[in-house]
Every structure is written in C-alpha cells, then in structure tokens.
Chain A
Amino acid sequence: EVQLVQSGAEVKKAGESLKISCKASEYIFTNYWIGWVRQVPGKGLEWLGMIHPGDSDTRYNPSVEGQVTVSADKSVSTAYLQLVSLKASDTARYYCVRRVEVGAAFDSWGQGALVTVSS
C-alpha cells in the first residue's frame, strides 16, 4: 500500500521560513508527480504545486508562486515544501499527495502537517 508520511506539526513566527517533508514508500518514487495541498482550518482545499521526481519538473498554482517551493530528493524518496516569509494567513494543514496519470487525480494523501504561524 502506498504510504506518504509527513513531518510533524510546526509553530512559527511571522516572517520565518519553514520546510515540511513527505517520505514516500511502497511505490516507485520517480514515476509519479507528488504535490502539496493546503487547507486553512474550517476552509476548503487549495492546490499549491507539484514536482515530478524523475526529472524535477515543477508546476505551481499561480496564486502562490514565489511564496512556496516544491523539491524532492530521489535518494530518500522524499518531497519537500518550503514556505518563506510566513504570515498568519499561512496557518493551515498541509497535505502531500501523489498524482496518478489516469485522470490526473490525487490517489494517496499524507496525514497532513499542521502549521501555526503567530504574529
């Protein structure tokens, strides 16, 4: 069974940076896009971006481009999401997701990492 295990909850101050990790297992890491989805408490889902670990091709949601960076390390089957210049509005749960080619759907989700940013 595909597993995506994320790093733990984080508490940060406004203006700081943060890097969240997502370790993948039970599938060939370089064969699938892996991405990130944000959910502000009580609100909906927002796609942030994704990377193809096979060739490092990356795609971003235009609304967050420049504020987030997606990366991956093939040697440890791990994807990362970096957030810079954190704001209180970045307080959210961040999920990593695996995208399958058929239908471009997210078939596997990490457990989510809660990020709290205090001003």
Chain B
Amino acid sequence: QSALTQPRSVSGSLGQSVTISCTGSSSDVGGYDFVSWYQQHPDRAPRLMIFAVTKRPSGVPDRFSGSKSGNTASLTISGLQAEDAADYYCGSFATSHSYVFGTGTKVTVL
C-alpha cells in the first residue's frame, strides 16, 4: 500500500489559517469516512487531532477542523497559534482492514 500524499510543508502567520491536503485513492481516503489527523511535536508521540473526517477528540481546540472530498481529505487550522507548529500526518482505514498514513506535513508559524 502506498502512503497518502501530503505537501511537505505549509506556513502561515499567527492568526491566519492554513490547510493541509491528504490525497489517497478509492481504496482508502475515498472509500471510507475513516480519515484521521495526528499532530507530532519534536521528540513526542503523535496526538490524535481529528477522527472520522470531521470529529475532534475532547481537548482539541475547535480551530482544528477536517473535511473530505472524493479521494482528498483536508485539515484546516484557523487562527494559527505558535504551539500549532508541528508535523501533521493524515491516516486512513484501507481495504483488507489495513491502515495507511500520509507522508507528513511540517507546519511553520511565521
């Protein structure tokens, strides 16, 4: 299975919005509403930020939102904060009950 495709990096100023895309296929992103997003700060374990395309776990700020259209999912961070600088990975349930992650995106807050 191939990794989902994400941009290598995105950047935005404090208070602005950024959107990260995650492109897969009908065997993963497009076939199921089971896309998740994970945030990882350096030397830390990843943290779940979005699940089931649009849902936020308890404790995740509402400036994080998710969406999906066809084979591409997106994570939007509105009102960018300094602590949002991190790596972000999408992930999706895939056929044969497997799982695939995205290539990862580095978010820089200017």
Given known contacts A106-B36, A106-B91, A111-B45, is B103 in contact with A47 (CB within 8 Å)? no
- Name the B residues within 8 Å of A111 (CB-CB): 45
- Name the A residues within 8 Å of B51 (CB-CB): 100, 102-103, 105, 107
Residues in chain B within 8 A of chain A (CB atoms):
1, 3, 32-36, 38, 45-48, 51-53, 55, 57, 89, 91, 93, 96-104
How far apart are A110's CB and chain B's nearest CB, in angstroms?
Answer: 7
CA distance A47 to B89 in the complex (A): 12
CB atoms of A106 and B52 under 8 A apart: no
Residues of A37-70 whose CB lies within 8 A of B: 37, 44-47, 50, 59-63
CA distance A93 to B106 in the complex (A): 19
CA distance A63 to B99 in the complex (A): 12
Residue of B at shortest CB range from A61? B98
Residues in chain A within 8 A of chain B (CB atoms):
35, 37, 44-47, 50, 59-63, 95, 100, 102-107, 109-112
CB atoms of B45 and A110 under 8 A apart: yes
- Name the A residues within 8 Å of B103 (CB-CB): 44
Given known contacts A59-B98, A103-B52, A109-B47, is B104 in contact with A45 (CB within 8 Å)? yes
CB atoms of A62 and B98 under 8 A apart: yes
- Name the A residues within 8 Å of B55 (CB-CB): 102-103
- Name the B residues within 8 Å of A105 (CB-CB): 34, 36, 48, 51-52, 91
CB atoms of A45 and B57 under 8 A apart: no
CB atoms of B46 and A95 under 8 A apart: yes
A50-B99, A106-B38, A111-B45 known; 12 new pairs, CB 8 Å cut-off, are: A37-B101, A44-B104, A45-B38, A45-B89, A45-B91, A47-B91, A63-B1, A95-B45, A104-B34, A105-B52, A107-B48, A109-B47
CA distance A102 to B51 in the complex (A): 8
